[in-house]
């Protein structure tokens, strides 16, 4: 009986420390990846500002060809929205919230199943040889210590998808140019 009490006390102590450390972790996260595409910004911009074009290069669409996607709002403009339903990739909503022609596309992203929102952006910077495309996703996981541990891993979770998506975007733009 004394061993069981010590075991329970030890387990409770570990859980308390785990949660206390969780409260000290940052609640904000950022995932950021870049690539150089051998094309002018306007050729790349057209593939990013049009949410329908994401199906040509986005990794999530390729993983689930049966994904149900709906679009609404003005085409290639602030307020353009896409919503999707996918058994393997999850459900979500995206809306363009800010544009700077041939330079920047900002969007809000929401996953209702996880009640998680973030802000994404594409930044296009012309260079001597092509355009540097930077894809960023930023968010706040709130005050939950468990979600704060999740935020520590998010770069490793979606960073590779950003890298592959940017590589696919590069292929689409350079092969259509």
Contact present, 84 and 91 (Cβ < 8 Å) = yes
Residue 55 is encoded by which pair of tokens?
A: 């199906």
pTM: 0.86
Rounded CA gap, 15 and 33, in Å? 35
Burial class (CB in 10 A: 0-12, 13-18, 19+), 20: exposed
pLDDT tens for 69-93 read 999 999 999 999 999 999 988 899 9
Tokens 């709906």: give the residue.
70
Q: What is the DSSP string of the chain?
A: -HHHHHHHHHHHHHHHHHHHHHHHS-SEEEEEEEEEESS-HHHHHHHHH-GGGHHHH-HHHHH-TT-EEEEESSTTSTT-EEEEE-TTT--EEEEEEEEETTTEEEEEEEETTTTEEEEEEEEEEEETTEEEEEEEEEEE--S-HHHHHHHHHHHHHHHHHHHHHHHHHHHHHHHH-
pLDDT tens for 16-68 read 777 777 677 788 999 999 999 999 999 999 999 999 999 999 999 889 989 99
- Give residue 177's pLDDT: 61
Rounded CA gap, 32 and 69, in Å? 25
First-to-last CA distance in the chain?
Answer: 75
């Amino acid at each position: 009986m004394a061993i069981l009490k010590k075991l329970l006390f030890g387990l409770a102590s570990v859980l308390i420390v785990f949660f206390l450390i969780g409260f000290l972790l940052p609640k904000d996260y950022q995932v950021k990846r870049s690539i150089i595409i051998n094309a002018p910004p306007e050729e790349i911009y057209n593939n990013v500002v049009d949410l329908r074009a994401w199906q040509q290069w986005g990794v999530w669409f390729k993983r689930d060809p049966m994904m149900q996607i709906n679009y609404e709002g003005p085409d290639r403009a602030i307020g353009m929205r896409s919503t999707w339903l996918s058994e393997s990739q999850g459900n979500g909503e995206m809306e363009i919230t800010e544009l700077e022609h041939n330079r920047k596309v900002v969007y809000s992203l929401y996953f209702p199943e996880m009640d998680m929102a973030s802000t994404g952006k594409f930044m296009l910077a012309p260079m001597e040889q092509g355009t540097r495309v930077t894809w960023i996703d930023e968010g706040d996981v709130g005050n939950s210590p468990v979600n704060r541990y999740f935020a520590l891993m998010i770069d490793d979770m979606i960073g590779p998808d950003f890298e592959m998506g940017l590589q696919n975007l590069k292929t689409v733009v350079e092969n259509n140019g």
